[in-house]
């Protein structure tokens, strides 16, 4: 049975980002104030993992603060761009910064190997709740005990998409009855990028974001919503998570 067009598997989602990597990078240069504020709370000698680092715009800030930065992105082209930018940041010590290709659901890092982390505007690009929980479990695995990370996702009920999701509320139950487990989750949406290339998103409520982090075994230090581009409704959720002291990272 054919499934609704709001669905993608992980491979399709990653392939879309690889296709748009260069043009996407050109639009992502300014770091978010919320990320900078979080980084300023961390020790300058910390080791930071930037999960789904994109072009490295936030890792560069951390590197300039003196941190050792390891970026990971599913798009090899974006990882290459980030690696070049990180190499030019800070004291330009190549041993203190790198970016590699890799999946957020299987980070190429050892358990308990980093002090703190970022996972900015990317968790929502992973299809399926299990995949998103797995990505956060991987973040927990690589963090040292009591290590913190800032996670952000796009909000579901923002100005840009509120009308869409009102209509989706009416479609969701009939779609679930028709497709069963193959039906998209409520919140799934395909968003075009400068033309026909479609990107997968699962837009979330703040409650869902918090519950997903908790399901991954992370402690919630803080959680809030903000309007970055919206006029009326928050368009981004932020959660500061911590790896509990008594978790071995598995």
The answer as to whether 3 is a domain residue is no
- Per-residue pLDDT tens over the stretch 25-63: 999 999 999 999 999 999 999 999 999 999 999 999 999
Does residue 249 carry a pLDDT above 60?
no
Q: Is residue 47 part of a domain?
A: yes
Q: By the 8 A CB rule, do 123 and 141 touch?
A: no
pLDDT tens digits, one per residue of 140-178: 999 999 999 999 999 999 999 989 888 887 887 777 767
Query: Is 90 part of a structural domain of the chain?
Result: yes
| Residue 180 domain-assigned (yes or no) | yes
In the sheet that holds 68-73, the strands lie side by side as 97-101, 68-73, 47-51, 116-119, 148-154, 236-242, 219-226
The pLDDT, as a whole number, for residue 246 is: 80
- Domain count along the chain: 1
Q: Give the number of other CB atoms < 10 A from CB of residue 1.
A: 6
30 burial level (CB within 10 Å; 0-12, 13-18, 19+): exposed
Give the mean model confidence (pLDDT) for residues 105-121: 98
**Dist CA 7 CA 183 (whole Å):** 8
Report the CATH number that the domain containing residue 111 is assigned in CATH.
3.40.50.150
- DSSP label at residue 229: S
pLDDT at 5 over 60: no
Q: Is residue 169 part of a domain?
A: yes
Query: What is the extent of the structural domain holding 214?
Result: 10-242
Tokens encoding 222: 């803080």
- Residue 65 has a pLDDT of 96
Model-level pTM? Answer: 0.92
Residue 197 domain flag: yes
Structural domain includes residue 248: no
pLDDT at 7: 65
pLDDT single digits (tens) 183-236: 778 899 999 998 879 999 999 999 999 999 999 999 999 999 999 999 999 999
- Answer whether residue 2 is part of any domain: no
């Amino acid at each position: 049975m054919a499934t609704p067009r709001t669905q993608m598997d992980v491979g399709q989602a990653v392939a879309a980002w690889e296709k748009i990597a260069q043009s996407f990078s050109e639009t992502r240069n300014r770091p978010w104030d919320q990320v900078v504020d979080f980084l300023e709370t961390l020790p300058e000698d910390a080791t930071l993992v930037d999960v789904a680092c994109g072009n490295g715009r936030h890792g560069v800030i951390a590197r300039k603060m003196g941190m050792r930065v390891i970026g990971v992105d599913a798009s090899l082209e974006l990882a290459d761009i980030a690696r070049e930018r990180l190499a030019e940041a800070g004291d330009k010590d190549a041993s203190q910064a790198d970016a590699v290709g890799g999946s957020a659901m299987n980070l190429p890092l050892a358990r308990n190997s980093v002090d703190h982390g970022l996972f900015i505007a990317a968790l929502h690009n992973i299809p399926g709740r299990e995949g998103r929980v797995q990505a956060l479990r991987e973040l927990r695995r690589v963090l040292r005990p009591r290590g913190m990370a800032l996670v952000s996702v796009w909000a579901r009920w923002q100005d840009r998409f509120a009308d869409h999701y009102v209509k989706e509320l009416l479609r969701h139950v009939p779609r679930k009855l028709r497709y069963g487990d193959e039906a998209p989750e409520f919140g799934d949406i395909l968003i075009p990028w400068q033309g026909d290339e479609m990107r997968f998103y699962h837009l979330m409520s703040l409650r869902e974001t918090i519950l997903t982090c908790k399901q991954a075994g992370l402690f919630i230090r803080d959680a809030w919503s903000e309007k970055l581009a919206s006029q009326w409704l928050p368009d981004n959720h932020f959660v500061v998570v911590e790896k509990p002291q008594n978790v071995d990272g598995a």
